[in-house]
Each structure stands twice: as C-alpha cells, then as structure tokens.
Structure 1
Amino acid sequence: MDEKPSIIVVEDDQRMGLALQRNLTKAGYQVMLADSGQSLRQAYRRNEADLVLLDLNLGIEDGIDIARELVSTTSVAVIIITGRLELEDRVEGLDAGADDYIVKPFATDELLARIRAVLRRRALDDVPSGMIEFGPYRLDTTTQTLHREGASTPSLTLTGTEARLLGILLRQHGRAVSRERLSNRGPQDPGDRSIDVHIGNIRRKLRETGIDELVISPVRGFGYRLRLDGTEAPDEDPAES
C-alpha cells in the first residue's frame, strides 16, 4: 500500500465526481475517478485501491451488483453513496457486503469521518492475522473462513467486515461487546442499522451451514454477545465490556 491511501470514486455525474476528487485530494488521499463499472474495473487493475466510494445510481448499471462483485472478487473496502432514503435500500447495500454507506446530501466532514473509520477498521483487521479459537471453532482471519475442529473443509466463508465482527465476538469468549466497539466509530446514530445488518448476515450464514452451536444474541441497549451453545454467559455488567 502506498503511503497515501488510494480511493476510487465511482460517480457518473462529472461535476459531483470532480468535487469529491478535489475534497478527498485536499484531505490527503490519492483519488481516481470512474464513471461506470467498466472504468472502475480498469482503474482497479491499474492500481489496487484501498477503498471504493461507489454511487449506487449509475444510470443503467446496478450499483448493488457492482458492490457484490467488488466484495466477492477483491479485498477493497466499499462505501456506498445513495440518494435513496428508504431504509431497505441502505440495508440492501450492506447486505451486498459494503462496509458502510452515506446518504446524499452529505457534508464533506461526515464523508471523511466515515472513510477514516472504514480504513481504520481495515488496518486493525490486518494486525491480528492467524487463527482465533473458541471451543471447537477456528476463525482464519487471513482467508476469512470459519472452521470446525475435525472438519475437512471450511464451515463458511465471510466478508471482511463479517470476519472482523465475528473475530471480536469470538475473542470475548461469551462476554458482551458494545455496538461502539463493534463499529469502531464511537457513539452510534440510533437510526444506523449497519452493525445489525452485518450481524444478521453472520447469523444467517451460521444457520444456513447448520452451525447451531455458535449463538449470537443481542444485549438490549448495549450490543451483542456470542456464546457456545451449552455454556453459560459470563456473569458481568455489560457496561464494563
């Protein structure tokens, strides 16, 4: 990775794209512009970026499909930009594997804060490489796969964000983890459901692959905890986690 993080801005409105490029460059990022899925692929082949800022409204192209392609074929972080106010549209973007989203119109300071938070989370993800163990399960943070002891193949494959969240929960061995710690973004907007969507995706994948032993439960007004079915959760005050 270069000293300055690199960002590809995918925006088919030239004026908007140039404004984003100007503001991000001023903030210290290397910025490339793309106006379509095809030009995005070309830009990424030339220089593997650290983050893609993806506008979902790209004319005839479906930004959600592009987000899914990025998540499944690269390790780049993705923040989606949407002018769609409906919660379902934002949830769909997170379901596609995006790290975060921002709704138009937005302030430059908010966008920069979200970019810093996503890149910071990704940097933290890179540090504890290897295996995280909890009972008979092993999370390989390098390949983003969960294994069960004695199984010949991985139990399930996760996105980068899902692997990060599951890793945090696994390391706590049943203790509750706050939403702020899971998001690594400080106090949460009550309307921000991004953590809930990612946790929901992890729970769905566990269920679909028949892993009933790992149970992720909400802790009301606080966050989530993961336990191995058949074991008791630690006796604790959630506010201390």
Structure 2
Amino acid sequence: MVKGETSIPATIIVVEDDPRMGHVLARHLTRAGYAVSSAANGSEMRRLYRHDGADLVLLDLNLGAEDGMDLARELVGSTPAAVMIVTGRDDIQDRIDGLDAGADDYITKPFEIEELLARIRAVLRRHAFEASVHDAIQLGTLTLDPSAMSLSDTSSGASLRLTETESRILATLMRQHGRAVSRAQLLNREPLAPEDRTVDVHIGNIRRKLRDGGIHTLVIWPVRGHGYRLRLESK
C-alpha cells in the first residue's frame, strides 16, 4: 500500500498479453498490498479503467494488433493515472519514445521483482506529491480548481461554482476516479456516526449544480453502506 495519507490501497492495472507473466505480476503486486486487475489488451484496459479507475497502469508495448506506445500516449493524455512501461523492448529509441510519450518510467524484461516494486513506490510517491501541490485536477475535459472552488468543462464551456466543502469532496472523488470512497474519508473526519448524513446532503447539492450547470459527464454513484464513487461517462 503506497498512498501515504489514506488507507485506500493504490490500484494498478497490469496490461500484459502473456497470461503467465500477467499472473506472476498480479500475484507479486497483490502480495505487496496493491489492488490489482489484469488486461490482455487495450480494450480490456479501457473497460477496467472506466469501471474502477487506477493509480497506475503497468503497460507492455507488445499487445498484438494495438501498439502499446499509442496506448501510453492515450493514457497520459486522457487520464490522471501514472504509466509505467514494462516490456521486452530494450532498444534505446524505444526507451526515448516511451518517456517522450509521457510514461513515468520504463523498465525492461527480465527484471528483479524487488526493483519493479521499488520503482512503483517511487512513481506513486511522485504522483501523490504532485497531486498535493497542484491545485487543478483534470479529468477528461473537466478541470476542478479547488482554490477558486470552480469546475469547468472545456468541451461545452460550462462552468459552476462550489462551496469549499463541495470542492473538497469533489476533489477527493476525482482523484479516486472510479473507486469507492467512504463518507468519513470524504469529510476527512474519523469516526463518522452511521446516522450522519452530512456527506449525502453535500453530494445532493453537487449533483444539482452539475445538472443545472450542464455538466452531465460527471456522475456520482452511491456505494451502499460505504460512500460514493465518481464516474466520467461519455455524452
């Protein structure tokens, strides 16, 4: 678990077309405390990310019909997830292309699992630090500015104002994109009495502002007995 301030385990998607290698990676990552899911290609990875989100994607470059380098560029350009390329392609130009595509790290096979885990920890720490020092949070065409307490959509030009608490709750949900977040974590208050519905009231107000402001791609779903999760959906 490498999330520092939160008890939510970091989520990793392993994109590997070799089932044996994918299984080995998933087993070691699970033992290290991460929440892991596996995909054999880009289509499966996109489905997993839309459903659960991810803090980090471990990406092989050799994925059959789809070039992993293109997938790396897509991830960097459209998601807040960290990207680590894990591949047998050890040519220096491949390394340069991978890092130029925006990947956070590039490691070649074969490798020692302890080195991979150390690199994962470093990448996740770096992303956590960047998230803590940069105000703006971007998800698709949406940008949340917590300091200005505003949410804007570049595709439609829509913009709306939030209260400080609404902005903080929405920031947490956007950073945890796709994952369930408890009511206590959303309020940053432990413990939280079961009958305390403060978060539900704020979520209701956020949903109303999203609807009235014409931002329909950001959907907040309840997670029964726990809290909420946020999904970015297509129009």
Structure 1 position 142, deviation (Å): 4.4
Partner of 1:55: 60
Q: Secondary structure at the match of 2:125?
A: helix
**Alpha-carbon distance in 1 for matches of 2:18, 2:64:** 10
For residues 32-71 of structure 1, the aligned pairs below 5 Å read: 32-71=37-76
Structure 1 position 86, deviation (Å): 1.1
Structure 1 position 2, deviation (Å): 6.6
**Alpha-carbon distance in 2 for matches of 1:72, 1:85:** 24
- Letter of the aligned partner of 2:30 in structure 1? T
- Deviations along 1:216-238, one digit per CA (max 9) or x if unpaired, are xxxxxxxxxxxxxxxxxxxxxxx
For residues 220-235 of structure 1, the aligned pairs below 5 Å read: none
For residues 53-202 of structure 1, the aligned pairs below 5 Å read: 53-130=58-135, 142=137
1:14 aligns with 2:19: yes
Return closer, same or farther for 1:50/1:14 CA change in 2, 3 Å cut-off.
same
- Letter of the aligned partner of 2:44 in structure 1? S
Q: For structure 2, which runs of at least 5 residues remain unmatched after alignment?
A: 1-5, 144-235
Higher relative contact order at CA 8 Å, sep ≥6: structure 1 or structure 2?
2
**Alpha-carbon distance in 2 for matches of 1:32, 1:2:** 19
Q: TM-score by structure 1 length?
A: 0.53
Q: TM-score by structure 2 length?
A: 0.55
- Letter of the aligned partner of 1:55 in structure 2? D
Return closer, same or farther for 1:2/1:64 CA change in 2, 3 Å cut-off.
farther
Partner of 1:189: none
Q: Secondary structure at the match of 2:86?
A: strand
- Letter of the aligned partner of 1:32 in structure 2? S
Structure 1 position 129, deviation (Å): 2.5
Partner of 1:233: none
Q: Secondary structure at the match of 2:17?
A: coil
Return closer, same or farther for 1:32/1:72 CA change in 2, 3 Å cut-off.
same
Identity across matched positions, percent = 59
What CA RMSD, in Å, does the superposition of the two structures yield over aligned residues? 1.9
Q: Secondary structure at the match of 1:79?
A: strand
Structure 1 position 4, deviation (Å): 0.7
